[in-house]
Structure 1
Amino acid sequence: MMTSSPPAVESGDAAVKIVDDDGREQRTGTFMTASAHIITAVIGSGVLSLAWALAQLGWVAGTVILVIFAIVTYYTSTMLADCYRSPDAVTGTRNYTYMGVVRAYLGGIKVPLCGLAQYVNLVGVGIGYTITASISLVAIGKANCYHDKGHNAKCSVSNYPYMAGFGMVQIVLSQIPSFHKLSFLSVIAAVMSFSYASIGIGLAIATVASGKIGKTELTGTVVGVDVTASEKVWKVFQAVGNIAFSYAFTTILIEIQDTLRSSPPENKAMKKASLIGVSTTTVFYLLCGCIGYAAFGNQAPGDFLTDFGFYEPYWLIDFANACIALHLIGAYQVYTQPFFQFVEGKCNKKWPESNLINKEYSTKIPLLGKCRVNLFRLVWRTIYVMMTTVVAMIFPFFNAILGLLGALAFWPLTVYFPVSMHIAQTKVEKYSRRWLALYLLIVVCFIVSFLAALGSIVGLVASVQAYKPFKNLD
Structure 2
Amino acid sequence: MSPSPPLTMKSLDTLHNPSAVESGNAAVKNVDDDGREKRTGTFLTASAHIITAVIGSGVLSLAWALAQLGWVAGTMILVIFAIITYYTSTLLADCYRAPDPITGTRNYTYMGVVRAYLGGKKVQLCGLAQYGNLVGVSIGYTITASISLVAIGRANCFHDKGHGAKCTASNYPYMVAFGGLQILLSQIPNFHKLSFLSIIAAVMSFSYASIGIGLAIAKVASGKVGKTTLTGTVIGVDVSASDKVWKAFQAVGDIAFSYAYTTILIEIQDTLRSSPPENKVMKKASLIGVSTTTVFYLLCGCIGYAAFGNLSPGDFLTDFGFYEPFWLVIFANVCIAVHLVGAYQVYVQPFFQFVESKCNKKWPESNFINKEYSLKIPLLGKFRVNFFRLVWRTNYVILTTFIAMIFPFFNSILGLLGALAFWPLTVYFPVAMHIAQTKVKKYSGRWLALNLLVLVCLIVSALAAVGSIVGLINNVKKYKPFESID
Q: Same fold (TM over 0.5)?
A: yes
Matches within 5 A, 1:40-439: 40-397=52-409, 400-401=412-413, 403-439=415-451
Against the structure 1 CA distance between its residues 327 and 201, is the aligned structure 2 distance closer, same or farther, given a 3 Å change threshold?
same
Against the structure 1 CA distance between its residues 471 and 112, is the aligned structure 2 distance closer, same or farther, given a 3 Å change threshold?
farther
Q: How far apart, in 2, do the equivalents of 1:388 and 1:92 lie?
A: 38
Q: How far apart, in 1, do the equivalents of 2:340 and 2:301 lie?
A: 20
Against the structure 1 CA distance between its residues 54 and 398, is the aligned structure 2 distance closer, same or farther, given a 3 Å change threshold?
closer
Contact 2:60 2:317 in 1 (8 A): yes
Q: Can you list the C-alpha shifts for 1:95-126, whole angstroms capped at 9, x where unaligned?
A: 00000000000011100000001111100110
Which AA in structure 2 matches 1:87? P
Q: How far apart, in 1, do the equivalents of 2:404 and 2:348 lie?
A: 15
Q: How far apart, in 1, do the equivalents of 2:428 and 2:484 lie?
A: 41
Q: Which moved more, 1:385-394 or 1:344-353?
A: 385-394
Question: 1:344 deviation in Å?
Answer: 0.2
Which AA in structure 1 matches 2:392? W
Question: 1:38 deviation in Å?
Answer: 0.6
Contact 1:98 1:255 in 2 (8 A): yes
Contact 2:253 2:414 in 1 (8 A): no
Q: Can you list the C-alpha shifts for 1:332-371, whole angstroms capped at 9, x where unaligned?
A: 0000000000000001101112221111111111222211
Q: What's the secondary structure of 1:125's corresponding residue?
A: helix
Alignment gaps of 5+ in structure 2: 1-16, 18-27
Contact 1:392 1:398 in 2 (8 A): no
Which AA in structure 2 matches 1:256? I
* Counterpart for residue 8 of structure 1: none
Which AA in structure 2 matches 1:404? L
Contact 2:136 2:417 in 1 (8 A): yes
Q: How far apart, in 1, do the equivalents of 2:413 and 2:258 lie?
A: 15
Against the structure 1 CA distance between its residues 473 and 197, is the aligned structure 2 distance closer, same or farther, given a 3 Å change threshold?
farther
Verify: 1:19 aligned to 2:26, yes or no: no
Contact 2:53 2:261 in 1 (8 A): yes
TM-score by length of 2: 0.92
Q: Which moved more, 1:96-105 or 1:363-372?
A: 363-372
Question: 1:405 deviation in Å?
Answer: 3.6
What is the root-mean-square deviation in Å for CA atoms of aligned residues?
A: 1.5
Q: How far apart, in 1, do the equivalents of 2:484 and 2:116 lie?
A: 49
Q: How far apart, in 1, do the equivalents of 2:445 and 2:280 lie?
A: 26
Question: 1:398 deviation in Å?
Answer: 7.2
Q: How far apart, in 2, do the equivalents of 1:473 and 1:106 lie?
A: 54
Which AA in structure 2 matches 1:358? N
Q: How far apart, in 2, do the equivalents of 1:398 and 1:147 lie?
A: 25
Which AA in structure 2 matches 1:197? A
Q: How far apart, in 2, do the equivalents of 1:198 and 1:174 lie?
A: 29
Which AA in structure 2 matches 1:271? K
Question: 1:410 deviation in Å?
Answer: 1.1
Contact 2:256 2:418 in 1 (8 A): no
Q: How far apart, in 2, do the equivalents of 1:459 and 1:449 lie?
A: 15
Which AA in structure 1 matches 2:473? V
Against the structure 1 CA distance between its residues 42 and 356, is the aligned structure 2 distance closer, same or farther, given a 3 Å change threshold?
same
Alignment gaps of 5+ in structure 1: 6-15
Q: How far apart, in 1, do the equivalents of 2:363 and 2:273 lie?
A: 30
Instruction: Give identity over the alignment, percent.
Output: 84
Q: Which moved more, 1:273-282 or 1:58-67?
A: 58-67
Which AA in structure 2 matches 1:19? V
Question: 1:91 deviation in Å?
Answer: 0.3
Against the structure 1 CA distance between its residues 454 and 473, is the aligned structure 2 distance closer, same or farther, given a 3 Å change threshold?
farther
TM-score by length of 1: 0.95
